[in-house]
Amino acid sequence: MENIGELAKALPKKRVRFQKGGDTETKANKRKRLRNFTELTDIQDTGDLESLDQKINDKMKELSETISPLGFPMTFIICTDLDHKVGPVNIIQNTSVINKCSMETKNNKNNKGEICCEVSLDGIALGCESDLCPKKAKRKAMIATYKMLIMYHYVLEKKSTEFLVKSATFIDLLNKSAESNQIPKSNIGCQMMKKMGWNEGAGLGHNEEGIMQPVLESGHLTSRAGLGSCLAPQKTATMQNTIDHVLKAYVINDSYQDLVFCAGLESEDRKTIHKLAHRYNLKSMSSGEEPNRVLLVSKRPSYARIVSEILTKGQDGMDKYILFAPNTYSNIPYI
């Protein structure tokens, strides 16, 4: 396809999600199901990984050579979040960074004395709005720019952090299960407590307001060893090697699924994860509150490749992002 008009005809006018076919699904039905998303996804065999990778690269090349009426290639992607915690101003700023283009805003006064704000990307004016308040004028102009971009370009909607944590691969570096932490019934202290009236599962004290779980040994201490100890460096090196092995395997894997490192890690271990993640060009952030605060590690993806991959393989298997074709995205609460 050489122009956006033909591409728009091939795209649906509503949000489409793929559903896996049954075990008895025929190839003809599979091709028909894929064409419901776009006629460009007519693949017959995804078993050959090299062939599939070539199809994805061909799709990226095709998108990069297709120019929208705005003057940008179709690899120009708008990325937003499902919860809309990021406003329109930040979305346009992030869009300019993702697509490596310069963003510029110009303010002028009109005949009514209002501030006119014009937003342009790479010198192309996309939105212009006016208001007595400069901040409101800028916000309106950003919203107008957003509406213009989603009309002609793909939108990748990223799911919420809570969903990503739940669906991510969980890495338990402490390697200690709840069962191994339980006090056995043969424990003398436990037997004495029961004879004094304590019931298992209840809190300590006359009003049962004390702790409910016994005080357990810490999983590991990497930086608080006693004088003359030679075990701490060995433990630190072992933990670093474990983290390095996990992150290396994650980088090699083609999956976009995030990694979640368990709660309860020492601060030194958290620093090690952040440091190694930065070395492998991965993003790392903490999520949640103590004592259930976890560390989330994710890849820095090529959004153009994600779009090409979804157009080639379909939405199945892509749990982190939902792709919307041009002029089909409507989940914008502030418009």
The pLDDT tens digits along the chain (335 residues) read: 344 334 334 444 433 333 333 344 455 554 444 444 333 334 344 445 567 778 888 888 888 888 999 999 998 999 887 766 678 888 899 899 989 999 999 999 888 889 999 999 999 999 999 999 999 999 999 999 999 999 999 998 887 666 666 655 667 666 543 444 456 667 777 777 777 777 766 666 767 666 656 665 544 454 555 665 555 555 567 778 888 888 888 888 777 777 888 777 777 888 888 898 888 888 888 877 777 777 888 888 788 888 888 888 887 767 778 899 998 988 776 65
Task: Answer for the pair 156, 303: CB distance below 8 angstroms, yes or no.
Answer: yes
Q: Are residues 14 and 68 in the same domain?
A: yes
Return d(Cα 258, Cα 61) in angstroms, integer. Answer: 27
Q: Are residues 51 and 15 in the same domain?
A: yes
Q: Are residues 9 and 52 in the same domain?
A: yes
Amino acid at 256: Y
Task: Answer for the pair 70, 149: CB distance below 8 angstroms, yes or no.
Answer: yes
Domain of residue 66: give its range.
Answer: 4-76+301-324
Q: Is residue 213 part of a domain?
A: no
Neighbours of 182 (CB within 10 A): 12
- The CATH number of residue 99's host domain is 3.30.160.20
Measured on CA atoms in the order 269, 168, 288, 175, is the torsion positive or negative? negative
In eight-state DSSP terms, residue 219 is S
Q: Is residue 25 part of a domain?
A: yes
Q: How far apart are the first and last CA of the chain?
A: 32
Q: Are residues 71 and 8 in the same domain?
A: yes
Q: Are residues 20 and 54 in the same domain?
A: yes
At residue 89, φ and ψ (nearest 5 deg) are: -65, -50
Q: Is residue 205 part of a domain?
A: no
pLDDT at 159: 75
Amino acid at 159: K
- With CA atoms as reference, report the closest residue to 158 among 95, 115, 201: 95
Return d(Cα 287, Cα 272) in angstroms, integer. Answer: 17
Q: Provide the domain count of the chain.
A: 2
Q: Are residues 71 and 97 in the same domain?
A: no
Query: What is this structure's pTM?
Result: 0.59
Task: Answer for the pair 163, 316: CB distance below 8 angstroms, yes or no.
Answer: no
Q: Is residue 197 part of a domain?
A: no
Q: Is residue 37 part of a domain?
A: yes
Task: Answer for the pair 294, 286: CB distance below 8 angstroms, yes or no.
Answer: yes
Q: Is residue 131 part of a domain?
A: yes
